[in-house]
Amino acid sequence: MKKRDKMKMMGILILLLAVITVAITLILVSRLSKTAGKDQKEETFDRSVSGMLSNAYILKSEEKDIIVLYRGETYFAEGKPEKKYTGVADIELTKGKVTKIYAKPSTIKGVLTSYSSKSVQIEGYEPLSAEKDLPVYLVASSGHAKIPVRQGKISDLVVGNSKVELVVAEQKACALVSYQEDMAEKVRVLLKNGKENTYASLFVCSGDAYTVDGNKRKKDTVTDAEKLLKGEKTGKEIKISPDTGGLLYRCDKNGNPYGSGYEGDLILRKEKKGYVLINEIPMEDYIRYVLPSEMPLSFSYEALKAQAVCARTFTYGQMKNDTYARYGANLDDSIAYQAYHATTSYEVTDQAVADTAGMVMTYKGKLADCYYYSTSPGYSENLEVWNAASPGYLLAENHTREKTKDLYSDKAFHKFITAKADAYDENSPYFRWTATLSAKLGMDETYGKLKKLKVNKRSTSGYVLSLTMVFEKGERTIEKENEIRYALGKYLLDLDLADGTNKHRASSVPSACFEIKSQKKGTIVLTGGGFGHGIGMSQYGADAMGKEGKKWQEILGFYFKDVTFTNVFDLDT
């Protein structure tokens, strides 16, 4: 046979071998996939593998039938376990076979109260240092679940709510096991100290009797965080609970309250830089205080109900946010989340919360991101103003009766912003406004005095997506809605609103929906409309729709497309 023919034959054999290999692989994969979940693979250990698998989860361990969950994948393994065991263990492998199982049955059971990249804490215990990339195993509550145990992330759990077992070995957290994914019934709100998260000193009192970690205190007694937590380790918590119907107050050392009282419990937590104050309160009570803090009582009742559903949906969506997990909180009381406890509760808003109890907004079976803001200029926005991709239910669209479709050109936007528009929000003082900026009010540390502004790009709804600030010694380009507003706020001298109101030295321009009317001799005048980011529900628009007779479901359906409404406890978590 000639050399060329030999090479040709060899090539055919190699190709045939490859086809056979692929076919065998597909058969094996199809067999393994019969019981595999969508997000969890099943495999066998390679025969060449020897060593130790740390903190794996054994699903089954019977003679010649061992199933292991490790780093998100399920493995079928050979071996002869000494006894049946299910749970977290270190597994010794020799040439792909299980030769030893080191069970880790020691656990701490309780509610997860805080976590960070280095530690994890269970209610009633000190924080424990944790293994790097601490494995989290989520055990299905139903025995008929397709995937009985799956590996998740610690951010799948809810601080202050999730009941877990913390697997411990040698005084170190090895793994977390959660046996249920209940929807949270309580929320932990970090009560900020201005812009800071901690207090140098902290005092709590009540006009009624109350308890401190179960120990009774008389009314008007002042509890001092320093006296209780002096000498304690970081992470130590003290829970203060009011008598039924009582309120707790943050106060000075003499018992003079700061502001109105808090329902629920107050938790004092020791941190390196001072003390953290957390209000743990049932979810529906939290919404009762958010609602009047976020929407005027004079607004239509259906608008109040729509706002309650929005606030509740937003809050549940934030429960797994890990920003404050290290402090044992889900969110804070600032407008970075939702205004909370800016005022007391009221009968009308309490009733709006009660009439929509548990109701949330969903899209394709999952909680929707429920954004809201004060006033629309007549066009809604999507997440483009934050340089992010938008879900299908958040649309940038015309909410006026005008025929204009796109406002991305300066000419189209000028015609829109200077004309009288027929829109739901037209009665808001912020529907149209004029902002006067003065270069004398600020100096850029790098580039010096502000000379002029340039709009580089608009969205189809007219919002500025890119703005260049020209200074004496250089330029600065900003490309996010909130950053644009606050950068200009540094120079904001006067803000004239549609109802004739003048606001002097406001902290930001109301929205990024504006044009540059004039700029000369260090004075820049902007003409704009709306108040807020423009994404989701306009509160003034909701008010007008409610006064028109529309129900809260219609109001939210107008601002969020193709959404549905359900009780949060009916959601498949």
pLDDT tens-place string over residues 112-162: 999 998 999 999 999 999 988 899 999 886 655 667 899 999 988 999 999
Closest CA to 371 of 509, 380, 54, 379: 380
Q: Report pLDDT for 36.
A: 36
Q: Report pLDDT for 424.
A: 96
Q: Report pLDDT for 244.
A: 82
Q: Report pLDDT for 61.
A: 86
pTM of the prediction? 0.82
Q: Report pLDDT for 395.
A: 94
Give dist(CA 512, CA 528) in Å, integer.
8
Q: Report pLDDT for 48.
A: 77
Q: Report pLDDT for 133.
A: 87
Crossing angle of helices 301-318/552-559, nearest 10°?
Answer: 60
Q: Report pLDDT for 45.
A: 76
Q: Contact, 544 vs 523, CB < 8 A? A: no
Regions of the chain where pLDDT drops below 70 = 1-43, 141-146, 180-182, 342, 572-573
Give dist(CA 492, CA 486) in Å, integer.
9
Q: Report pLDDT for 416.
A: 94
**460 phi, psi to nearest 5 deg:** -65, -20
Q: Report pLDDT for 448.
A: 95
Give dist(CA 366, CA 136) in Å, integer.
22
